[in-house]
């Protein structure tokens, strides 16, 4: 890509995977590979500022975005609800209009997806979803970047997700369906992705030939998988459900017996943080098939590419 030309994605919001075509997703991933390999110290976002709003705690999202902006020559400003007027009742719409005059882009990590949609509707600069209860699209970009690095091709792959049909599962299923990757998810039926999410992903899959399987049987999901993926059973904001969820998800642990049904060269992925001994055993997450720390590192590279595509003049 000619770096003197603005990206055709410039100025876009990045709220869900659904809003981007397969070609646009692959373009971001190609840019991520380019930036990860680059040693020149090129600063394509020199002078640019990213405002970061955190209504949920974070390790990977905060550090990867902040470090990424610095490496690109820009700057990131951290804001949480305790230290900003959002914590005193200022509306998300007013916040968007004010911040748009100070920064070149806004990343938010929040609860209800309605909040990020309201922020984007009132923002004059690109808004990036750092996580909502519905979607975690930046994680999905890092996941596929990791697959590309290890599997070299996405063609013919099967991804099996075992656990809660949460924001991570929603975005992972969507990106797999968009890119023609088979996707299986196993968990108790009451924790499956919503019918609306499943309907949307199946529509994507119908155009790419991707197969989507939703089952209560983890062995069925993992059988012949190239990738086995897990996440915590209790996400932030669900702490009062923890005891119940531990019982509900009994039998869905990713352990040595379960992964024996995957392909011998399967990859284990986890968005982290992990609860060893709950959703995954130490033997799996710390084993030779696990690439969870490279996956975590790829959050920064995928997001750097996204930032360049959305913010570069």
pLDDT digits (tens, 9 = 90+) for 72-110: 999 999 999 888 888 678 999 999 999 999 999 999 999
Residue 243 has pLDDT above 90, yes or no: yes
CATH number of residue 39's parent domain = 3.40.50.1370
Asked whether the bond before 237 is cis by omega within 30 degrees of 0, the reply is: no
Position 15 in a domain: no
Q: Report which DSSP code applies to 251.
A: T
Position 1 in a domain: no
- Does 171 count as an annotated binding residue? no
Instruction: Answer yes or no: do 124 and 158 share one domain.
Output: no
* Structural domain boundaries enclosing 121: 22-135+298-311
- Does 282 count as an annotated binding residue? no
Distance between CA atoms of residues 199 and 18, nearest Å: 12
Mean pLDDT of 158-186: 98
Residue 3 has pLDDT above 50, yes or no: no
- Does 58 count as an annotated binding residue? yes
CB 71 within 8 A of CB 46: no
| pLDDT in the model for residue 5 | 66
Instruction: Answer yes or no: do 290 and 302 share one domain.
Output: no
| pLDDT in the model for residue 303 | 98
| pLDDT in the model for residue 237 | 77
Instruction: Answer yes or no: do 166 and 221 share one domain.
Output: yes
Residue 215 phi, psi dihedral angles, 5° rounding: -150, 160
Give which of 45, 69, 124 is closest to 312, Cα–Cα: 45
Mean of per-residue pLDDT scores for the chain:
95
Instruction: Answer yes or no: do 175 and 241 share one domain.
Output: yes
State pTM to two decimals.
Answer: 0.96
Helix residue ranges, H only, the chain: 22-37, 60-71, 92-99, 113-121, 137-151, 167-179, 195-208, 218-222, 242-248, 256-259, 282-285, 292-311
The tokens for 303 are 């997001």
Mean pLDDT of 193-220: 98
| pLDDT in the model for residue 245 | 95
Distance between CA atoms of residues 77 and 68, nearest Å: 12
Instruction: Answer yes or no: do 179 and 288 share one domain.
Output: yes
| pLDDT in the model for residue 42 | 85
Q: Report the catalytic residues.
A: 109, 136, 139, 231, 271, 299
| pLDDT in the model for residue 87 | 66
| pLDDT in the model for residue 2 | 43
- Does 275 count as an annotated binding residue? no
Residue 156 has pLDDT above 90, yes or no: yes
CA 107 to chain centre: 13
- Does 109 count as an annotated binding residue? yes
Q: What is the number of structural domains in the chain?
A: 2
Instruction: Answer yes or no: do 27 and 128 share one domain.
Output: yes
- Does 61 count as an annotated binding residue? yes
């Amino acid at each position: 890509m000619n770096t003197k030309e603005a990206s055709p994605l410039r100025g876009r919001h990045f709220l869900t995977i659904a809003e981007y075509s397969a070609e646009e997703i692959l373009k971001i991933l190609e840019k991520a590979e380019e930036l990860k390999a680059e040693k020149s110290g090129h600063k394509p976002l020199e002078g640019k500022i990213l405002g970061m709003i955190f209504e949920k705690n974070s390790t990977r999202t905060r550090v990867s975005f902040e470090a990424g902006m610095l490496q690109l020559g820009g700057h990131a400003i951290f804001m949480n609800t305790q230290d900003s007027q959002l914590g005193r009742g200022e509306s998300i719409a007013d916040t968007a209009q004010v911040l748009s005059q100070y920064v070149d882009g806004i990343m938010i990590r929040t609860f209800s997806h309605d909040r990020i949609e309201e922020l984007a509707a009132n923002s004059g600069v690109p808004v990036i979803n750092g996580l909502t209860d519905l979607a975690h699209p930046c994680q999905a970009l890092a996941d596929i970047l990791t697959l590309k690095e290890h599997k070299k091709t996405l063609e013919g792959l099967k991804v099996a997700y075992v656990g809660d049909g949460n924001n991570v599962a929603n975005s992972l299923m969507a990106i797999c369906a968009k890119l023609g990757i088979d996707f299986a998810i196993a968990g108790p039926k009451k924790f499956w992705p919503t019918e609306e999410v499943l309907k949307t992903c199946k529509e994507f899959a119908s155009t790419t030939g991707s197969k989507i399987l939703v089952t209560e049987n983890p062995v069925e999901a993992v059988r012949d998988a190239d990738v086995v993926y897990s996440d915590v059973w209790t996400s932030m904001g669900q702490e009062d459900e923890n005891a119940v969820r531990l019982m509900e998800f009994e039998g869905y642990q990713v352990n040595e017996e379960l992964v024996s049904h995957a392909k011998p060269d399967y990859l284990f992925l986890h968005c982290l943080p992990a609860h060893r001994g709950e959703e995954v055993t130490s033997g799996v997450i710390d084993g030779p098939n696990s690439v969870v720390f490279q996956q975590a590192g790829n959050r920064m590279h995928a997001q750097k590419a996204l930032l360049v595509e959305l913010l570069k003049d």
